[in-house]
Structure 1
């Protein structure tokens, strides 16, 4: 047997098949540093607001005539090369949104210059830039850093070498304080990038086993995190019926991941449990999907990816609150052993579900994970994230996630966290008349009740929470992107990772 990868989490492939040349994870990202003086080789960057105000390092503002010639209006994200070798960066109104966009544009401009000059001596210098950070507020500084870091993100499986991500220096009179803020913002951006990496990885490599082992490897590199994984035999012994049913149609067995962060220096006794859908590829099963969009189903574990990225960053930031991440992972395939519409499945907590649509597989694996959390972890709060329903894409489009919650305080905390990160959520109702459709005539619950699909799916999941404060993030729309915008890259977006980190930070008062 040949190994698909030599790294931890390698998955056997039949002899004679060529493994996918997926790059090592996590992807290298641009570095942001706080300095008192810029490096002599750094490209100087002049900041231009929409009102025409300039901030430059060398006391040489750009003349208004040149601004007119360039068509530089200060619009956020505009980048112009100046005749003296400097770059002019538009930062708009200086809002967080504008600064994230500006940071991402600067990263892209640096990369483009480096690629154009790749064969020229000293071209590496073009990857390094310096700009003044003295006038940026704390939130704005974090937004700029997130834009800079995520603007450098690239995931490409190619024989061509990937360009170096580069470095940006923020020049300040207080490098220590600014450096601490940069480190925190970079950790949040890294969480998003890790989530993108996991979701972008092609499914010929990304089996359930690969996903949990890769997450395990990343967690083992961060002090204070511990991991537990379940084999298919253990899942069978312990009764994870939903996960086993969904994964039963694939030759690649399902798996279950638990990652624990339990800081010893906290007086906060609350326990936050994050749960992410980990469907590493989704054909729809017997209720098969149309062929046209099926290639995108490698990102159907974007919720699980966001949860993994989030808990890694929570540990990096040392958030003083106990957090556990759970990721039920499976491939939903078509075969003679696939589960069927009409089957009755018994979940971890003993609840039985009548299957009505095998393409509604995400809620089946989440039900097991929620049931496990309630029974074994004594959670105070549960948040799950999943690319769960096409209905939510219809309702909210491709840039906004749906939020459904049993607890108003938790919902408010999530909305506040999403506002701080720029990951937009919209709260949807849990309707009583739809809840009446969830019970089944031949089992405890009906997997896909009639009515609004996104709301019905959430109400099905609520049945497993046993009254624990719970929120569900349906990220089917914003988890993927077909056209880059702001700091969001084409492909997997990593949506919700930063929001979950901000949620933990907010609860812990950090």
Structure 2
């Protein structure tokens, strides 16, 4: 079966001091001030038109300009906060694509937005993200593709080079989100471990300075990756391990680990049927890592980077692993299996142990749709962050803020006298070194298990079970996989660049 060509085409962004003649023009409007910016365009919007449409400038408001005006669209940016510019860009591109679907002329494949002279770097960056991602769609269909805007020109009065640099970086960040969405949205009858490994090689592996290596199940067996092999043992489509590397050896070394479960039935501890179709996105953590590596390569960040994505399908069969099994991970530590639906931590444990023993990271970060508990704790728009220390936590939180992605730090401590000491002790098993699902709060228990494989290195665990997928469109997010965490990872790695 054919799927849309990856990566999905997003509108190209260009910057110019001159507007195109035939292309439709959009201007921006702040709330409480119905006069568009730049104010030189205000005369092209009649008082009668503004009164008729009740122009408010609120975030997400997009109105078509009056007939005959050079201004085709007016988009509200609210109070002008950067995230409001992102929402405005997304609403604008959706409105414009809707017009194209209704038969807009070919010239309208090229949209242009006139920027106010006081637009700052953060506002421009967020506008570009919204414009590139707001119209994202992914559909496997026999129908011809719907027309979409191909380019967006940002029209500026001056300082073109500065705006261009900001727009280009923001475009790369948006592309990372788009690629992560593509990988996670692809249906699992196409997306098996081998396919995900190939896509990682074709995308991130072709970015400047990035090398890709794929290990098959024979190599995994020879090197003792018991967690990956156990999880993938129930499927006829064997597991893989993707390794992506870039950068100089003397630069700070950041290792990213992403969960790559291409479909999750829950195994013998089978999931409820309701919602299982969404498990094609259970490799969203791996998708975010792959997409982040490509973006980091394209941005040319001066940092040593390694990414590991253990890829497997968790199926039911006579060869599937069982509750009660004891699995030996890479490096020798053993795990007592109590729930085969907690498969993500099994494959991640192997990758973390491999990183610790072979890569000497300055920072170890794992990303996964790991626990439903995080969806209950933080909802569907905020990622859960567990960190080994305050400095690591601050770096991730700062990166998320720059990326426009929300994170909340969760407790992870063994301080003397803390009630959380109980959680640390609960990881111990009577029959193995550790147990897979220790009692206690689900998200914290999973993090405590993973920490056993980090050997005390600086480490962050990012649980994206909630925000990795969406059942509705809002801001720049569209229904399906969201690509959450890809931009945060890029900004986090950038904080280590020299």
TM-based fold match above 0.5: yes
Specify the alignment match of 2:458 in structure 1. 469
Alignment of 1:5-44 (within 5 A): 19=1, 21-44=2-25
Specify the alignment match of 1:5 in structure 2. none
Q: Secondary structure at the match of 1:507?
A: coil
Specify the alignment match of 2:331 in structure 1. 349
Specify the alignment match of 2:369 in structure 1. 387
Moved more, 213-222 or 382-391: 213-222
Specify the alignment match of 1:297 in structure 2. 279
8 Å contact kept, 1:47–1:54: yes
Specify the alignment match of 2:128 in structure 1. 145
Which one of 168, 174, 178 corresponds to residue 152 of structure 2? 168
Alignment of 1:413-428 (within 5 A): 413-428=395-410
Specify the alignment match of 2:239 in structure 1. 254
Is 2:437 aligned against 1:448? yes
Is 2:174 aligned against 1:185? no
Instruction: Report the CA distance between 1:174 and its aligned residue.
Output: 2.3
1: CA distance, partners of 2:406 / 2:426: 29
Cα deviation 1:102-159 (Å, max 9, x = unaligned): 01011111111111015xxx33425422322532101111011111111121111112
Instruction: Report the CA distance between 1:77 and its aligned residue.
Output: 1.4
8 Å contact kept, 1:45–1:130: yes
Specify the alignment match of 2:425 in structure 1. 436
Is 2:106 aligned against 1:106? no
Runs of 4+ in 1 over 4 A off after TM superposition: none
Structure 1: gaps of 5 or more residues: 1-18
8 Å contact kept, 2:251–2:302: no
Specify the alignment match of 1:499 in structure 2. 488
Alignment of 1:43-82 (within 5 A): 43-52=24-33, 53-56=35-38, 59-61=41-43, 62-82=45-65
Q: Secondary structure at the match of 1:436?
A: helix
8 Å contact kept, 1:41–1:128: no
8 Å contact kept, 1:153–1:489: yes
Cα deviation 1:166-215 (Å, max 9, x = unaligned): 22111121222211111100010100000000000000000000001111
Q: Secondary structure at the match of 1:140?
A: helix
Q: Secondary structure at the match of 1:37?
A: coil
2: CA distance, partners of 1:257 / 1:67: 55
CA separation of 1:307/1:238 partners in 2, compared to 1, >3 Å: closer, same or farther?
Answer: same
Q: Secondary structure at the match of 1:59?
A: helix
Q: How many residues align?
A: 484
8 Å contact kept, 1:275–1:370: yes
2: CA distance, partners of 1:460 / 1:26: 35
CA separation of 1:255/1:51 partners in 2, compared to 1, >3 Å: closer, same or farther?
Answer: same
2: CA distance, partners of 1:366 / 1:484: 31
Specify the alignment match of 1:97 in structure 2. 83
8 Å contact kept, 2:234–2:316: yes
Alignment of 1:218-257 (within 5 A): 218-257=203-242
TM-score by length of 2: 0.95
Is 2:264 aligned against 1:282? yes
8 Å contact kept, 1:114–1:124: no
Specify the alignment match of 1:335 in structure 2. 317
CA separation of 1:306/1:220 partners in 2, compared to 1, >3 Å: closer, same or farther?
Answer: closer
8 Å contact kept, 1:389–1:453: yes
Cα deviation 1:261-295 (Å, max 9, x = unaligned): 1148xxx6310001100000000000000001000
8 Å contact kept, 1:114–1:127: no
Specify the alignment match of 1:208 in structure 2. 193
Aligned CA-pair RMSD: 1.4
2: CA distance, partners of 1:405 / 1:65: 56
8 Å contact kept, 2:27–2:75: yes
